[in-house]
Structure 1
Amino acid sequence: PGTTRPHLAGEPELRGELARHLGRLRGVSATPSGVLVVGGFAQALTLLCAVLPALGITELAVEDPCHPGQRRFVRDNGVRVVPVPVDDEGIDVDALGATSARAVLVTPAHQFPTGSVLSAGRRDALVRWARSVDGWIVEDDYDGGLWYDGRSPGPLALQRLAPERVVYAGTASKVLDPGLRLGWLAAPDELLHRLLHVRARHDLGTEAFTQLALAELLRSGLFDRHLRRLSQRCAVRRRALEEAVRIHLPGATVRGPAAGLHASVRLPEGTDEAALVAGALRRGVLVRGGTAFGAARTRAEPALVVGHAHLPRTGIAEAFHAIGAGFSRPGPGSGRR
């Protein structure tokens, strides 16, 4: 390595370590030859958007709500976006089945931004849908199964239920550093060959030295140690978040299990979400409202989306003190706004 160009599919050392790591930690069914190393999830999505039309697929269903930049990215790559609603069990598979989409992008382990986990029944239904329409599921495991909820074990990858229908995507940017543009796909052979063919027209592979460094982190056990420490730190921050919400936003609840780097705070019915967000900004706290993530920006349920994992505990308390200064609990009959 260092004297030749990178391997188009990724350095063999990293592909082997990823296959072992993902199988052990996330239950992913993949061999080293079935792993493709990419320059982050954005590049993975670009490649997928280029491949799908060749399979006769011109629409990609996405969760609603989801990251708004993801919807724009898919549209900018020439694929029509089909929003599908999400509830506390994850994506509504019946609603998905009512569309003409044959591919869907989901975050089943920790939905962004609601924090919900795709239920076992919905997982089975989603796989049945993919098989019935001859379609594809793109599983974005963006925070790598970062799970610190002591009440239950974390869910394994959806891909293990149907490796022939699911493209599993992961990234190092969330659990290591956002500046690290390194990700991976575990894809069936049929799709992997098409992805490599498209990639060969655009670049010559991902930078090799970073790949080899990550391979060594995985091989040595240092990556596992880092995940354990990160989980412990996130658990402390999550408890601080729940306490701050209890004190400063009475009636609000933190949704979903303790997992990942963010949480969704469900506000009491009738809360003026926009006014609360604007008031927080005037007090020096930047927080996003749940409405910002919906496809039509008309979410009925007011919420806040909070990235808490990298804030100090005192910072979480101070931020929610500022947010709560503009909060008054809606009275009975106030209705939704």
Structure 2
Amino acid sequence: MPRISHQPTFAITLPRNASPLRHRICDALLAKVADGTLQPGDHVPSTRMLAQTLRVSRGAVVAAYDELLAAGYLIAKPGSGTQIATGADRAMRAGASTHAAPKRARSASRPRSLPVHKWSLQPGSPDSTLINRADWNRAWRAAAAAPIGDQPPRSLGHVGLREALSDHLRRSRGVNYGPDDLFILPGVAAAVRVIAEAAGANRRAVAVEDPGYTNAHRALTATGAKLQSARVDEHGIDPASISRAAIMAYTTPANQYPLGSRLSVDRRAELIDWARAGGRTIIEDDYDGEFRYDVSPMPAVASLAGATDVVAYIGTASKILTPTLRIAWLAPPPHLAERVRAVIDDSALDVCATSTTALAHFVASGALTRHLARAARTYYARRSAFLGALRREQPDLEVRGIDAGLHVTIPLPDGTDEDRFLTALAARGVGAAGLSSYTLTERPSRGIICGYARLPESQAALVAHEICAELRSHTR
């Protein structure tokens, strides 16, 4: 027969640690289960009596009992009070708990931290401090006030964002997609994977820019695609270097990543002809096509004649607003739309509906247009300050990719060990990326990629001096 005790007939003390009071009450009771004082079927003290015994508020005891009930350690029976649940003793012997144990202080002798550079020129991130906080807060308040959904959005969801993007893309990038043509996905890599799966890339050749965007390379590889290197020069990807066996080609025509070249008009036409001739697909990653300097705008490949049936267009909020907003959009060729929809739904590639509602408000209110204009002016000034400082330090220095985007590439002298150069540069306080990490070939080009989006104009001369000083040390 189980023992019945509605009053605390045993000594109980709270552990002394930094955990919340309700957790300490839970731990005190569970300790009595562990040592056999309380057994399955035993009644626990009433919340009022235990609060008096421990000299704590009754609310804290109620919260602790609720936690123990939810975790299955207690069971409440109407008319019979609250009891230790069957199996609670076995769970305690197995080391189970209702909450995470408080973290121990980290030993001072084993610090763990990421390297911190005085100047971080790592490419791929915009300056999120340029976002107007009033516009940003207004968008998120609108999202918080929206109805709370009870189903994942999947491929047919995010109507508000698709409508806002349809208008924005028509005005800013010259592509004419209706809301129903667009799919919302959690990042560019997800969009690349979806379109590759929809096009049947598994075990088939897909051409990629070399050097190129490694996250896209990994996404394609994950689908089973066989990557084939396509040559890139100052005019962008060279269609003549694409294998006839390739069924797709991934490209960043507005600002080739990472070399920074823009795909020339004639090569855009050649690329479309290549795709149409073989029933192939072009993946156009238009990741930061809004930012260009001292050059006339070039339309997206997807806007050109003959592109509709062969171009899968991808854009992202991560490169124009903040990398914390993992939202991308995909407009596939019409004949792949239903396959794309199926891949998204089968893979449960959902995007947070609250985030897309906020972004929809940000775009539809005109805040994105205002942000892009303001950011472009700032990035132009930072680019000009950085380039000017580099040229004053070393007038003959070759700098690539200066017409668009948020980074430039500086080739390294022949024979330079790229890893050693980056390490030495880091010792000077400058963090940059190596060009060789973006290549597929066994003999990659050597260089450094410098993102200037977050480099204040006042610091440009200091950074340029450190870069050029290190370059000079490798050419002596």
- Residue equivalent to 2:171: 24
Task: Establish whether residue 100 from structure 1 lines up as the match of residue 245 from structure 2.
Answer: yes
Q: Which residue of 1 aligns with 2:472?
A: 328
Amino acid at match of 2:472: S
| Cα distance between partner residues in 1 of 2:231 and 2:356 | 37
The alignment partner of 2:207 has SS state of strand
Q: Per-residue deviation at 1:16?
A: 1.1
Shift of 1:206: 1.9
Alignment pair present for 1:227 and 2:372 = yes
| SS of structure 2 residue aligned to 1:185 | strand
Instruction: Work out the CA distance in 1 between the residues paired with 2:417 and 2:267.
Output: 30
* 1:70 alignment counterpart: 216
Q: CA deviation at 1:308?
A: 0.6
Deviation at 1:290, TM superposition (A): 2.2
Q: Whole-Å Cα distance in 2 between the matches of residues 13 and 289 of structure 1? A: 40
Gaps of at least 5 residues in structure 2 are: 1-146
3-state SS of 2:154 partner: coil
What are the residue-to-residue correspondences of 1:259-274 with 2, within 5 Å? 259-267=404-412, 270=414, 272=416, 274=418
1:86 aligns with 2:229: no
Instruction: Name the counterpart of 1:304.
Output: 448
Per the alignment, residue 7 of structure 1 pairs with 153
Shift of 1:204: 6.4
Q: 1:251 offset after TM fit, Å?
A: 1.9
Percent identity, aligned pairs only, is 33
Indicate which of 297, 300, 303 corresponds to 1:157: 300
Whether the aligned pair in 2 keeps the contact of 1:244 and 1:316 (CA below 8 Å) is yes
Tell me if structure 1 keeps the 8 A contact 2:312–2:331. yes
Q: Quick one: which of 2, 24, 33 aligns to 2:180?
A: 33
Matches within 5 A, 1:148-187: 149-150=293-294, 152-161=295-304, 162-187=307-332
Name the structure 2 match of 1:314: 458
Once the two structures are TM-superposed, the CA of residue 250 in structure 1 deviates from its matched residue by: 4.0
SS of 1:138's partner is strand
Provide TM-score, normalisation by structure 1.
0.90
Measured on the aligned residues, the alpha-carbon RMSD in Å equals 2.2
**1:329 positional shift:** 8.3
Q: Deviations over 1:186-238 (max 9, x none)?
A: 12232121011011112163221111111111111110000011101100110
Once the 2 structures are TM-superposed, how far is the Cα of residue 78 of structure 1 from its aligned partner?
Answer: 1.4
**What amino acid maps onto 1:133 in structure 2?**
G
CA distance in 2, matches of 1:175, 1:59: 31
Contact 1:279 1:323 in 2 (8 A): no
Are positions 1:42 and 2:185 aligned together? no
CA distance in 1, matches of 2:256, 2:217: 15
SS of aligned partner of 1:325? helix
Find the residue that maps to 1:254 and give its secondary structure: coil
Picking from 227, 230, 252, the partner of 2:397 is 252
162-171 or 187-196, which moves further after superposition? 187-196
Mapped partners of 1:188, 1:102: distance in 2: 14
Q: CA deviation at 1:278?
A: 3.2
2:298 & 2:268 partners in 1: Cα distance?
11
Give 1:85 shift. 0.8
Q: Residues 320, 89 of structure 1: CA spacing in aligned structure 2 closer, same or farther, 3 A cutoff?
A: same
After superposition, where does 1:116-195 map in structure 2 within 5 Å?
116-147=261-292, 149-150=293-294, 152-161=295-304, 162-195=307-340
Name the counterpart of 2:205: 59
* TM-score under structure 2 length normalisation: 0.65
In the alignment, structure 1 segments of 5+ residues that lack a partner are: none
Shift of 1:66: 0.7
CA distance in 2, matches of 1:47, 1:222: 30
- Summarize the Cα distance change of 1:233–1:313 in structure 2 as closer, same or farther, 3 Å threshold: same
* Distance (Å, rounded) in 2 between the aligned partners of 1:303 and 1:182: 30
User: What amino acid is the match of 1:314?
Assistant: S
3-state SS of the aligned residue for 1:154? coil
